[in-house]
């Protein structure tokens, strides 16, 4: 029997990636809200699962690993994982969906997944920070991250010319990028400037699983992604050792 996966989650882009996957694959899961505005990410319980004090993280009580033959095989011990890219890759391997188990297409998808994790996510995140949360308006920083976001949108727009999804078939690369494009207005971007990206965005928004994932978020948190209290918790972190 497949036991539900425990998802440690907040209603932010990196959290949405995983609810989108779980809804698409219709895997059983239990949501554990980690309210990052209240400092839930610093509890010793959560840090055991996610030592970087970031959501998302999962615990799978009945994990599956690909055997050397490429078949999924059951193991007894539970698996705990943090970092959204690692979680998406694991869930794809477990279900053998949204990422081929081997071959060229697997690496095509993974390169776009890593592009999101190392580029689009951090750059759009800094864009949000300097455009909306920083106590001072630093125009150099705002311009730098708005321009870099625009450059990355341009890269994705080109990639999507003539194809429905980022790496041909619908995949974990689409699930990783979509939540970051969803806040395009807050990033100072106009999707009219990126027609292929806009068509993909609409295609993604229409998917019932994507809509279910965002409905789950709404039910947990109807307010701002970052509250006034959250600002002091999230933006004042330094090494405490
Ligand atoms: N590279 C990480 C980034 C995770 C991340 O930045 N999560 C944010 C929410 S989107 C968070 O948990 N922030 C809590 C904090 O900064 O203390 C991933 O892809 O999972």
Counting from 1 in the atom list of ligand 1, the atom nearest the Cα of 42 is 17
DSSP 8-class letter at 185: T
Give residue 68's pLDDT.
45
Ligand 1 neighbours, Cβ below 6 Å, are: 12-14, 36, 41, 53-56, 83-85, 117, 234
37-60 pLDDT, tens digit per residue, is 999 999 999 999 999 999 999 999
Counting from 1 in the atom list of ligand 1, the atom nearest the Cα of 56 is 20
- Between the CA of 162 and the centroid of ligand 1 the distance, in Å, is 33
Provide CB contacts within 8 A for 66, sequence distance 6+: 72, 73, 93, 101
Average the pLDDT over 62-67 and give the result.
77
Q: How many CB atoms lie within 10 A of CB 119?
A: 16
Kind of pairing between the strands at 64-66 and 5-9: unpaired
Average the pLDDT over 118-147 and give the result.
97
**pLDDT higher than 70, residue 75:** no
- Residue 59: phi and psi, rounded to 5, are -125, 120
Give residue 122's pLDDT.
98
- Please state, in angstroms and rounded to a whole number, the distance separating the CA atoms of residues 203 and 206: 5
Provide CB contacts within 8 A for 215, sequence distance 6+: none
Structure tokens at 202: 């609409």
- Taken as a whole, the chain contains a residue count of 241
CATH class of 104-206: mainly alpha
Domain assignments of the chain as residue spans, ordered by start: 5-97+214-235, 104-206
Give residue 71's pLDDT.
57
| The domain defined by 5-97+214-235 carries CATH number 3.40.30.10 | yes
């Amino acid at each position: 029997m497949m036991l539900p996966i425990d998802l440690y989650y907040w209603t932010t882009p990196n959290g949405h990636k995983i609810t989108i996957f779980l809804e698409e694959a219709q895997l059983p899961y239990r949501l554990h809200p980690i309210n990052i505005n209240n400092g839930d990410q610093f509890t010793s319980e959560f840090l055991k699962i996610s030592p970087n004090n970031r959501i998302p993280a999962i615990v799978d009580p009945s994990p599956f690993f690909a055997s050397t033959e490429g078949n999924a095989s059951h193991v007894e011990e539970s698996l705990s994982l943090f970092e959204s890219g690692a979680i998406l890759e694991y869930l794809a391997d477990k279900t053998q969906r949204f990422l081929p188990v081997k071959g060229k297409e697997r690496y095509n998808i993974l390169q776009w997944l890593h592009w999101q994790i190392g580029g689009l996510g951090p750059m759009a995140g800094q864009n949000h920070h300097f455009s909306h949360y920083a106590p001072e308006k630093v125009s150099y920083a705002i311009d730098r991250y708005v321009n870099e976001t625009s450059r990355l949108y341009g890269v994705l727009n080109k990639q999507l010319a003539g194809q429905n999804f980022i790496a041909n078939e619908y995949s974990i690369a689409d699930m990783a990028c979509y939540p970051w494009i969803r806040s395009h207005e807050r990033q100072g971007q106009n999707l009219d400037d990126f027609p292929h990206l806009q068509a993909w965005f609409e295609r993604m928004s229409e998917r019932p699983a994507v809509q279910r994932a965002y409905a789950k978020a709404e039910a947990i948190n109807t307010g701002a992604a970052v509250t006034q209290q959250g600002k002091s918790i999230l933006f004042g972190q330094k090494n405490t050792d």
